[in-house]
Amino acid sequence: MAGQVIDGKAFAADVRARVAAHVARLAEEQGLVPGLAVVLVGEDPASQVYVRNKGVQTLEAGMRSFEHKLPADTPEADLLALIARLNADAQVHGILVQLPLPAHMNADLVINAIDPAKDVDGFHISNVGLLGTGQKAMVPCTPLGCLMMLRAYHGSLSGLNAVVVGRSNIVGKPMAQLLLGDSCTVTIAHSRTKDLAALCRSADILVAAVGRPEMITGDMVKPGATVIDVGINRVERDGKTRLVGDVDFASAAAVAGAITPVPGGVGPMTIACLLANTLTACCRAHGLPEPEGLTA
Ligand code: NDP
C-alpha cells in the first residue's frame, strides 16, 4: 500500500479536545455554556444511535444537551411549535432535527423553521445561500469535516483540481462550495456524468459521496491524489455485515497519496464538527470571537 491513511478518529479527537478547551474557557471567562438541542421523530434504529452518540459527545465537550424524542405520528404542527420554543430558548445555541423525518412531514419546511443562527446542520436555505455566496454561514458538518482534514493534510488547497462525486444538498454541493472557497478548481460529478473514470483521474482531490459500495476503484485515482471517502454502505460479506465506503480502499490506497478509510475516516469528523458548529453558534450569538480552525 502506497498512500497515507488519514486517521479521521484522531482528527475528530483533536477537534473535540479543542472544542472542549474553548467551552471550558467560555464557562470560566463568560459564564456561558453552549447548548445543543437534538430532535428525533420516530424510532428509526440508526437515527437513535446517532442521536445517542451526539448527546454523549455534547456532554463530554462540556456543553448542555437537550434531547427531544417525539413519536412517529407527531403532527407537523407540533414539531414546528417545538422548534419555535427552541429558537426562543437562550440556553439553546444549536438545533438539529435528525433526518429522515416521517413521510407525513415536509423536511424543507421543518428545516427552514429553525433559526438560521442555530442551524448547526447548515441545511437552512439562508445558510445554503450564505455559503454559496462566500459569506459567513453555518456549514454542513460532514463537508466541514472533510475540509478540515484536507487543510490539515495539504496546508493550502489553492489551485488544486478537485472532483466531488455526488451532488446532494447535504454533502456534494456544500463540499464543492467549500473547496471552491479554498480556491480549488472544482468539478461536480453525478449519475449522468460521462466518463467518470477519466474525470476522477484528473483530480488532485477526489471526494466520493455517492452511496454506492466501492464504486471508485484504483484505476480511477490519479497517482498521489488525496481521496476522501464519505460513503457509508452496509454490505454482506463472508456471512457478516460490514461497513464499506464508496471507494474500493485496497486498490485506491495503492495509487493515492492519502486516503480516508471507512470506518474511521470522515464519519467520526461529522459529530466533532457538529460540536464545533454549536460552539461557533454560541460565540456568534454572544458577539464573541469564533474558535480558530473550527469553522470554514
Ligand atoms: P444521495 O443519495 O443524496 O446522493 C448521491 C449522489 O451520488 C447523487 O448526486 C447521485 O447522482 C450520485 N450518484 C449515484 N450514482 C452515481 C454513479 N453511478 N456515478 C456518479 N454519481 C452517482 O447521497 P448523500 O449525499 O446523502 O450520501 C452519499 C454517501 O455519503 C452515502 O453513502 C451516505 O451514507 C454517506 N454519508 C456519510 C456521512 C458521514 O457522516 N460520513 C454523512 C452523510 C452521508 P444524481 O444526483 O444524478 O442522482
Q: Coil, strand or helix: which one is 286? A: coil
* pLDDT confidence tier of residue 20, bands split at 50, 70 and 90: very high
Q: CA-CA distance, 254 to 5, in Å (whole number)?
A: 11
Q: Coil, strand or helix: which one is 102? A: coil
pLDDT over 90 (residue 2) = no
User: What is the per-residue pLDDT across 40-76, written as a single tens digit (0 to 9) for each?
Assistant: 999 999 999 999 999 999 999 999 999 999 999 999 9
CA geometry: angle 80, 129, 265, nearest 5 deg: 85
Cα four-point dihedral sign 87, 55, 232, 294: positive
- Contact indicator for 22, 30 with CB cutoff of 8 Å: no
**Stated pTM of the model:** 0.97
Which among 115, 119, 121, 246 is annotated as catalytic?
A: 121
* pLDDT confidence tier of residue 38, bands split at 50, 70 and 90: very high
Mean pLDDT for 131-157 is 97
Pocket of ligand 1 (CB under 6 A): 142, 165-168, 170-172, 189-193, 196, 209-212, 230-233, 266-267, 270
Question: Strands 185-189 and 161-165, how do they pair?
Answer: parallel
Confirm whether 54 is a catalytic residue. yes
Mean pLDDT for 180-186 is 98
Q: Counting Cβ atoms within 10 Å, is residue 107 exposed (0-12), middle (13-18) or buried (19+)?
A: middle
Q: Coil, strand or helix: which one is 236? A: strand
Question: Strands 35-41 and 4-5, how do they pair?
Answer: unpaired
- Contact indicator for 161, 203 with CB cutoff of 8 Å: yes
* pLDDT confidence tier of residue 109, bands split at 50, 70 and 90: very high
Mean pLDDT of all residues in the chain?
A: 97
* pLDDT confidence tier of residue 134, bands split at 50, 70 and 90: very high
Fold of 141-268: Rossmann fold (3.40.50)
User: Helices 141-154 & 172-181, crossing angle to 10 degrees?
Assistant: 40
Domains 33-118 and 141-268 share a fold: yes
Name the percent of the chain lying above pLDDT 90. Answer: 99
Q: DSSP letter at 219?
A: G
- Contact indicator for 57, 277 with CB cutoff of 8 Å: no
Distance of CA 169 from the midpoint of ligand 1 (Å)? 10
Q: Which atom of ligand 1 is nearest to the CA of 270?
A: 40
Confirm whether 121 is a catalytic residue. yes
User: What is the per-residue pLDDT across 248-295, written as a single tens digit (0 to 9) for each?
Assistant: 999 999 999 999 999 999 999 999 999 999 999 999 999 999 999 999
Question: Spelled out in words, what is the top-level CATH class assigned to the domain 33-118?
Answer: alpha beta
Q: What's the chain's Rg over C-alpha atoms? A: 19
Distance of CA 167 from the midpoint of ligand 1 (Å)? 7
Mean pLDDT for 124-141 is 97
Distance of CA 172 from the midpoint of ligand 1 (Å)? 7
Name the percent of the chain lying above pLDDT 70. Answer: 100
Residue boundaries of the structural domains of the chain: 33-118, 141-268
- Contact indicator for 60, 16 with CB cutoff of 8 Å: yes
Predicted confidence at residue 1, as pLDDT, reads 58
Contacts of 49 (CB under 8 A, 6+ apart): none
Q: Whose CA is nearest to atom 41 of ligand 1?
A: 267
